[in-house]
Every structure is written in structure tokens, then in C-alpha cells.
Amino acid sequence: MFSTRSALARALLLSCAVLAAARGANAAWEWEAAYDVTEADEAYSLNLAKAPSTESTMKFCVYKTTSLDKTGIEAVEDNCDEDAATSAIAANGAVTTLAQGTTYQITMNTVSWLSVFNVQFPSNGYYAMYTEHKPSEYYFTGGTELELLKDAESHDVAATWRSDYDYSVPSNQWRNTMLGCLAVWVVTLAGLFLIINSKIWDVIKPYALMFASGTLLATAFALVLYESNHLLTGSDEGETAPRTTPHAWCTPFLKDFSRRHPSPALPFQRLTGKTFD
């Protein structure tokens, strides 16, 4: 009995150790990216906008890697520990030369909407960057997202790989594109075919007129009037009001139209003497 308990205790301790090792110091980083630094002799800058919903501080760490992809980032991730002692970088302060594997903490400027942190990389090369928060969290509502890293001329330095971007490419994207183009070509060339075959056009002309009329009416009542409804109320809330949905626009019109005209095909039946059943 004692040996069984001892074995279970050892198994639990081993499981805890494995989980702790699997979690590691790198599991807490919320955002990861790979940058190609080509002007290490000049200063770069981290640019963040202080939005009301964001944290006033953020930790980050950089480390040199061998490739600008997820594999390169994961290969050196263990060298950056978010829980390690931090080195502070002041906003709009002097240039700080970044040391690989050092965890830095930046504090947002409380009197300005934009905080700029001047940094310099130790040398040219590929760098993996890990941050405590996503850069997309730092922008004002209604504004545009800022690029995190900028060079000495304030030009955006885009990440070659970033963890918040979906790099998976559908295998059938070109197939769907070509099928869509083919459908457009068929509809476009249908008019030429009908001009050449006037007999066929005479047969389907009543149907074509009905479809054309229905399309124009549906566009007017279900799209144009509905989308412009917020102009009547003076705000965007009018589009989502209970009585301003597309059904609310179209239902009374269709009900009255069907009551006055039991069958839209009747005028064409009188002209051609044929039924469309």
C-alpha cells in the first residue's frame, strides 16, 4: 500500500514538473513577430497609442534568430522570460540599445495619446520579438492601427511573420476565382447569344422583363431605401430599429402588390395569349 502511494506521489510530482516545463517562461507572451533589421547603426522606435482600454505598461523582449518564420521564433523563445526582472524604457527618452534576452518594460506617456520608445538593435540580422500585449490593442476607436516598429525616418517596419495573422492559404482559392469569372462571362455573353438567336429571345422575353422588373424593385425597396433609412433618423441606430428591417420595408409593398395584381404574368398572358404555368 505504501509503495503504491509513493509511486502515485512521484507520478504527480513528475506530472507537475512536466507541465511547468511545457508551460515555460515563454507561454505568457501574447504576441510574437519576426523582423529583418538592416539598419542597426540607426535608431528604431516602438510606437503605441494609449487607448482607454489598454494597459499603461507592456513588457517585450527581442532575440536574434536564424529565420523569419514561426520556426525561427519558437527556436529562441525560451531565451525570453516575461517573468524575469525588467529593465525600464521611458517614453520619448534617450535611445536604449536592446540586449538579447532582456525583458524590457515600457510605460505609456500619460499626457500624450502617442508614446514613442527609442531603441537600437545590437547588430543587423533576423530578430524575434515577443510582447506582453498585442500591438492592435493600442489604437483609438475610429483610428487606424499603428505599426509597432518604425525606422529612423519614421517609416513603418512591417513584421515578416506575426502570430496574429493567419498565413494559411486555401488550396481552392484560384478554383473559386476562375469559377466566378466564368459565371460572369456566361452572363455577359448571354446577351450576345440572344441577339444572334432572336427566336429564343422572343420566347424568354416575358420572363426576362419580369426578372428585370423584380430585380429593380427589390433593389429599391430592400437595399436603397433600407440603407438610407439612417438619414431619416439622423443616426445609424435607425437601421437596426424594429420597424426598419428589410422585411419591414418589403412586406407591406409585396402584400399590397399581390392583392392588386394576383399574378404578375397576367399582362404577358394577355399580350401573347399563352400561359406560363
- Within 13 Å of residue 10, how many CA atoms lie on the same side as its CB? 6
DSSP bridge partners of 46: 117, 149
Residue ending a domain, among 113, 131, 162, is 162
128 and 244 together in one domain: no
**pLDDT in the model for residue 76:** 94
Contacts of 89 (CB under 8 A, 6+ apart): 96, 104, 105, 106, 117, 119
CA–CA distances in Å: residue 36 to residues 22, 120, 132, 149, 259: 29, 13, 21, 11, 69
Q: Could you give the CA distance from residue 113 to residue 270 in angstroms, rounded to a whole number?
A: 71
Kindly state whether residue 263 falls inside one of the protein's structural domains: yes
Same-domain pairing of 81 and 189: no
pLDDT at residue 276, as a whole number: 46
Q: 214 and 144 in one domain? A: no
| Cell numbers representing residue 273 in the block | 395569349
Is 100 inside a domain boundary? yes
**pLDDT (0 to 100) of residue 77:** 93
Mean pLDDT of the chain: 76
Please give the grid coordinates belonging to residue 169. Answer: 492559404
Q: What is the maximum span of the chain, computed from C-alpha positions, in angstroms? A: 100
In a domain, 5, yes or no: no
Which domain covers residue 61, as residue numbers? 25-162
Structural domains of the chain, count = 2
Question: Is 3 contained in some domain?
Answer: no
Q: Per the structure block, which three cell numbers stand in for 199?
A: 427566336
Query: Which residue numbers in the chain have pLDDT < 70?
Result: 1-27, 51-54, 139-145, 169-173, 225-277
> Cα(82)–Cα(91) distance, rounded to whole angstroms?
20
